[in-house]
Homo-oligomer: A and B are copies of this chain.
Amino acid sequence: MAPKSRAENRAEQTRAILDRARAQLAEVGPAALSVRQIARDVGMVSSAVYRYFPSRDELLTALIIETYDELGDAVEAAESSVADRADLAARFAAICHAIRDWARANPHEYALLYGSPVPGYVAPDDTVTPAIRVSGAFLALAQAAEHAGVSTITTTPVSPAEKAALVPIQEFLDGPVDAAHLVRWLMAWSTVFGHTSLELFGHMHRGILDYDAHFRQVSGQLAADLGLTS
């Protein structure tokens, strides 16, 4: 048996805790996640876990980061798997469906990211980088559309206040995007997550029979609104 160095051991234990925590998250959800249970699962006593994570919230934060990255991977993979890069509608549909598919496959994880924030919890800066990957996918596509000369269906003038409100996003982008177009893309973002949350949290339960068909319809109409459909 190769004796493990202290650093190696620490890395292994940290991973073991995180892995069990993720498994428990998927099983019982974030609210019921128990430090003591995780400790039992990895063969530790509960107080030992606090050597690796100072609190349950910090552990949850680590899970949030990992989970954002997992969703980010799924979305980016789906988007980049579209062979015809000029087919912006296909790339948009890939993003939309990747988000919803991932959410349906990982409901507790989705709830952790996009459900009610844990009380008194404020996202630390560590979480922001992975968190913006999925909105970044939308914005990157918005930029590609802008570059391709695509125009969204827009019938409402953009107020000066709104133009000012969007400054941080414009700065995030490489090149400027027409404010009216940007509004449409942000609306699509809200619609996709709104639909996913309403569906997953049971608010469509008595209204819509076929969630798949409805989401296909919605994302199709969104693509049309964004001017991506020929």
Contacts and interface: CB of A to CB of B under 8 A. Distances in A.
A31 B111 CA distance: 14
Nearest to A33: B119
Interface string A174-216: 0000000001101101111111011001110111111101101
Contacts of A119: 28-29, 31-32
Nearest to A188: B191
Interface stretch (A15-23, A47-55, A165-173): A165-173
Chain A interface main SS type: helix
Q: How large is the interface on A (under 10, 10 to 19, 20 to 34, 35 or more residues)?
A: 35 or more
B116 A209 contact: no
Contact of A191 (B117, B122, B194, B216): B194
A82 to B, nearest CB: 20
Contacts of A140: none
B118 A187 contact: no
Interface stretch (A1-9, A72-80, A219-227): A219-227
Given A114-B197, A119-B29, A213 B165 contact: yes
Contacts of A112: 116
A45 interface: no
Interface stretch (A35-43, A90-98, A142-150, A155-163): A155-163
A128 interface: yes
A14 interface: no
Given A28-B119, A207-B135, A186 B218 contact: yes
Contact of A221 (B172, B183, B216, B221): B183
A131 B210 CA distance: 20
A229 B154 CA distance: 12
B194 A214 contact: no
Contacts of A153: 153, 155
Given A155-B153, A214-B165, A221-B183, A207 B172 contact: yes
A46 interface: no
A156 to B, nearest CB: 5
A210 B166 CA distance: 8
Q: 5 shortest A-B CB distances, which residue pairs? A: A194-B194, A115-B116, A165-B210, A111-B116, A161-B213
